[in-house]
Structures are given as structure tokens and as C-alpha cells.
Amino acid sequence: MEELIEEARKRVLGSKRLVALTGAGISAESGVPTFRGKGGIWQRYKVTDLATPHAFAKDPRLVWEFYNWRRDLISKVTYNPAHKALVDLEKIVPHFALITQNIDDLHRKAGSKNLIELHGNIWWVKCSKCDYKAKDKRVPIPFPPICPKCGGMLRPDVVWFGEFLDMDTLNMAVSEVEKADTILVVGTSAVVQPAASLIGIGKKSGAFLIEVNLEPTEATPIFDISIRGRAGEILPRFI
């Protein structure tokens, strides 16, 4: 493992265009529960009840309770050494982009600048009827939250299962991985599309792929290096 970490460190520090792709595992050490695996949110709750457009249409109060619970939790935690290491890497390498599936805002809180949030952000709301969008940091958001523009119901500005990602955001992410020489994938089970497919796109374009995860994942076979360990312990060692 020591040799793998050393090789990954050299690759990362020698990179001209580095992309990091992160998932819930990078925030686990901050105290934000992951989705799959032990203690995962989707072990305790059904995704179809809480994170789909259908769930919101059927029971918006329940969906808002779920997001208010996550708002409360996320408002009480902060970034960890793994988030911080990615901030440092952005300062070291010539070009850096951070693509995250997380909605917890912890990368921004840590100070990452070139950040692409594939699944939205927990602190933003949008109207379920019109194009209204706003930042809203209230915890909790009182139910029912009403759109000031059209009177429709506001919803979290996040991507739910069965919804498309924002096209501009996804295109930006694809363009970054296509140009990257090195891609560092941290704390994702790599099962949710299209986010996971970015790894394969990077591979096709010739990038060197490094994975940091507690466990093997769906994508492990295509990585050049897979490091098993906690993100908060491994990433600071790259600097």
C-alpha cells in the first residue's frame, strides 16, 4: 500500500490537468452519512419515497422533512482533511477541476474554487413550476415553501433519481475528464449514472486513474491504482 500511495502521489503532483471526482465517502469522516453500505441512507430509507419527482408529487411534506433533516445535519458539520487536501492540490497543479456528486457544500466551505456540482446543492431551492431559483440557508425550511414568483411549491435544487442532470454542468464535467491527464476518484461507489461513466470517459481519453476508497467498487477494475483507506488519511499524504 505504501508503494501505491507513493506512486499516486507522484502522479498527482506531476499532473498538468488534474480532475478529482468525489462522492459521499469523502464527507463520511465529517459525519455525513453515505448512501450505500453500512449506515447508508438507502439502507434505512427507500429512495423512491424520498428522492424522486414522483415522491415529491405524492408527499412533498415527507420529502421536505427528509431534506430538512439533511440540512440540519450538514449545517452542524464541517470539511475534513480530505476536502482540505483537494484545496491544496488546486493550488499546486497547473489546472485542477473538482467534480462532485455531493450536495453538502463541504468542498466550497473548504475553499475549492473550480467546482462542478453534478447533483446540485442542498442550500439552494427551485420552483417545481417555474424557473425561480434561490439560495436558502434556513434550517428547517417551513412547510409548504412557496415560490414568490408563481405561487408554486419550492423544492430542493438537487437532482433526483429519474431526472436529468443539468446539461451545461454535465458537459463541463465531460470536457474536464476528456482533457485530464490524471483523475483521482474518491469515496464513490461508482454505480450512479451518468456520474460514474465519467471514469470510463477519462480512461478512453488516456487519463491515469487513481481510486481512493475503503472498499473495491464497480469501477475498481479499470483503475490504474486503487488505494484502500480513508480519504481523510490518504489524501493529505499526496501533498
Active site residues: 119
State the minimum distance, in angstroms, from the CB of residue 235 to ligand OAD: 9
State the minimum distance, in angstroms, from the CB of residue 116 to Zn ion: 26
The one of Zn ion, ligand OAD, none whose footprint includes residue 209, by CB under 5 to 8 A per kind, is none
Three-class secondary structure assignment of the chain: CHHHHHHHHHHHHHCCEEEEEECCHHHHCCCCCCCCCCCCHHHHCCHHHHCCHHHHHHCHHHHHHHHHHHHHHHHCCCCCHHHHHHHHHHHHCCEEEEEECCCCCHHHHHCCCCEEECCEEEEEEEECCCCCEEECCCCCCCCCCECCCCCCEEEEEECCCCCCCCHHHHHHHHHHHHHCCEEEEECCCCCCCCCCHHHHHHHHCCCEEEEEECCCCCCHHHCCEEEECCHHHHHHHHC
The one of ligand OAD, Zn ion, none whose footprint includes residue 143, by CB under 5 to 8 A per kind, is none
State the minimum distance, in angstroms, from the CB of residue 159 to Zn ion: 19
State the minimum distance, in angstroms, from the CB of residue 143 to Zn ion: 16
Residues of the shown chain interacting with Zn ion in the complex, contacts defined by CB under 5 A: 127, 129-130, 132, 147, 149-150, 152
State the minimum distance, in angstroms, from the CB of residue 33 to ligand OAD: 8
Q: Which is nearer to ligand OAD, 95 or 115 (CB)?
A: 115
The one of ligand OAD, Zn ion, none whose footprint includes residue 152, by CB under 5 to 8 A per kind, is Zn ion
The one of ligand OAD, Zn ion, none whose footprint includes residue 127, by CB under 5 to 8 A per kind, is Zn ion
Which residues in 94-131 are b (16+ Cβ under 10 Å) and which e? eebbbbbbbbbbbbbebebeebbbbbbbbbbbbbbeee
Q: Which is nearer to ligand OAD, 181 or 238 (CB)?
A: 238
Q: Which is nearer to ligand OAD, 182 or 189 (CB)?
A: 189
Q: Which is nearer to ligand OAD, 95 or 124 (CB)?
A: 124
Q: Which is nearer to ligand OAD, 95 or 236 (CB)?
A: 236
In 3D space, the residue among 70, 76, 77 whose CA is nearest the CA of residue 119 turns out to be: 70
The one of Zn ion, ligand OAD, none whose footprint includes residue 19, by CB under 5 to 8 A per kind, is none
CA-to-CA distance for 209 and 189, rounded, in angstroms?
Answer: 15
Residues of the shown chain interacting with ligand OAD in the complex, contacts defined by CB under 6 A: 23-25, 28-29, 34-37, 40, 51, 101, 119, 159, 161, 187-189, 192, 212-215, 217, 230-231
